[in-house]
Structure 1
């Protein structure tokens, strides 16, 4: 796989400065440009998120210091390294820039070769941090998100749902008779089964904001911001059909011959009167209903709708 070129956002209100920096960085880097603070913030948080920002200090309206503060206050842009490039060369100016979160401070006029080396260094460090961050949030076996990543995503989606009053849906899935599968086929086959189920479930979600994660053991979860119960039920049914349609053999004598999953679905417009745990508990109850009803099926309901009494463990 060919790694994409690093992306650098140049923020400066002077076109001549943008041209100088752009000519220095192309073709080694993909270059984005902003001539004011609000545009810089929008592009930093956009789909083409930069690996590094070169930021002028003195700009009309919102100055570079305020841009940097807002970048560092936003979880979406907090980790993007910022290098200030400024004609302000006093020691206090540099100290201020570093104190509010910049990784470096370069004064004008600068030596192009030295600046380029500094940019390379900070981009390489950023990508290394991103790599280790990804490893810390990905399940080592199935390569979907792990429990830590899901917990963080659920908390963030819940806060966003409260602010925007948009629905939040959750699917909780469990591989049917997985203990029997492990006992009969062996743990190596069990691991492969979980990998396959994770891949099949992931293939049914298309939006970048949807998250499929391994919740624990043979349980998986899918978080879908902005989706109501009917849409989530449809996705869950597709997941159920995809696993069954893959026709993985389950040869334990007490099972009907194929691996399947049971899925519980819940949805809510987040509200301060509830918590993410309420949504999880509702999805878990719906999952138990699906198990009790015969497995290999979907059971769904809005948060607050009645459901049957709790049941014992149904693997």
Structure 2
């Protein structure tokens, strides 16, 4: 459902097998400025709802073929249709029909014979409630997004990283699959900040974060700002060789951003170092140990010259040019044990 403006009228779908009633309802509602679409049976209504996405459905309970109760139940199965108003038109003082309507998922009901003034108010009230619900839902989603996103870099924050890592750890433990973690650190970032100023430093962190995010391509991967100039990449169901490949591409390709760093001791451009760890989660291990292994690997990479990555318990791997990894499908960590 959309949030409408005066230039974008609400769309109402009228579902009734009686053409005369449909005509009456259309005439009444078009006078109120609504757009109207019509369906003469339940099957047609479901098809139109999936394509037109109306804002309100007026649905007759008793129709030939699929009745309104079954149609309403089917509409509620459509994704994102849990809160779309469906007003069921029922028989006068028919308590059984009213009960069935709400059990089927109706938002409200209108009794026959239809009082047009009452119907207009019911439609208006249903739209107002639906709009309010959507605005609150959007506000909650934005609040959740803000709570889980680092404001500067627009990747996940430390809190979201830890929560996600816990969830993925449990999932990989159930499925007995490998989980890899990459910790990245911008080389000589304090010197960069001192040279170019904090605003340029912030921009540098944003560009690096967004680039790392672009390399974590799967929907299950997560890139987070781990702290300061440090970033983390969670790679579920990724072997040691696979995670080494990702780390190597990230480290090598960061240089292609060509962010100047005249006071770097390893390059005239911004570079990063990375530590990688891979583990098949079990009851005898923990995600904290995975973080510690990746952190130790990062420390080793920085101690051995930076602008490189190290995999836990693996030999030092120097960074090769980006075109090497683009032209070679094998892992850059040749001979690395695959978990």
- Relative to the length of structure 1, the TM-score reads 0.66
1:192 aligns with 2:203: yes
Task: Give the 3 Å change call, closer, same or farther, for CA 24–241 of structure 1 in structure 2.
Answer: closer
Q: State the alpha-carbon separation in 2 of the partners of residues 220 and 196 from structure 1.
A: 12
1:106 aligns with 2:120: no
* Counterpart position of 1:281: 292
Contact 1:5 1:30 in 2 (8 A): no
Contact 1:175 1:218 in 2 (8 A): yes
* Counterpart position of 2:133: 122
Contact 2:56 2:84 in 1 (8 A): no
Following TM superposition, where does structure 1 have runs of at least 4 consecutive aligned residues deviating by more than 6 angstroms? none
Alignment: residue pair count: 246
SS at match of 2:163: helix
* Counterpart position of 1:60: none
Report 1:138-149 matches (<5 A): 138-149=149-160
Q: State the alpha-carbon separation in 1 of the partners of residues 81 and 219 from structure 2.
A: 19
Report 1:27-66 matches (<5 A): 27-28=53-54, 40=77, 50=80, 52-53=82-83
Contact 1:169 1:267 in 2 (8 A): yes
Task: Give the 3 Å change call, closer, same or farther, for CA 160–181 of structure 1 in structure 2.
Answer: same
SS at match of 1:193: helix
How far 1:35 sits from its partner (Å)? 5.8
- Give the one of 19, 24, 33 matched to 2:45: 19
Task: Give the 3 Å change call, closer, same or farther, for CA 207–300 of structure 1 in structure 2.
Answer: same
Q: State the alpha-carbon separation in 1 of the partners of residues 81 and 234 from structure 2.
A: 27
SS at match of 1:214: strand
* Counterpart position of 2:252: 241
Report 1:172-251 matches (<5 A): 172-251=183-262
Q: CA RMSD in A?
A: 3.9
SS at match of 1:298: strand
Between structure 1 and structure 2, the one with the greater Rg is 2
- Relative to the length of structure 2, the TM-score reads 0.62
Contact 1:201 1:242 in 2 (8 A): no
Q: State the alpha-carbon separation in 2 of the partners of residues 289 and 257 from structure 1.
A: 22
Q: State the alpha-carbon separation in 2 of the partners of residues 188 and 141 from structure 1.
A: 11
Q: State the alpha-carbon separation in 2 of the partners of residues 264 and 128 from structure 1.
A: 38
Unaligned 5+ segments in structure 2 are 4-40, 58-70, 87-96, 112-121, 317-339
How far 1:250 sits from its partner (Å)? 1.0
* Counterpart position of 1:71: none
Task: Give the 3 Å change call, closer, same or farther, for CA 119–231 of structure 1 in structure 2.
Answer: same
Unaligned 5+ segments in structure 1 are 7-14, 45-49, 57-85, 95-103, 309-315
How far 1:115 sits from its partner (Å)? 3.0
Q: State the alpha-carbon separation in 2 of the partners of residues 24 and 114 from structure 1.
A: 23
Task: Give the 3 Å change call, closer, same or farther, for CA 118–148 of structure 1 in structure 2.
Answer: same
* Counterpart position of 1:72: none
SS at match of 2:273: strand
* Counterpart position of 1:136: 147
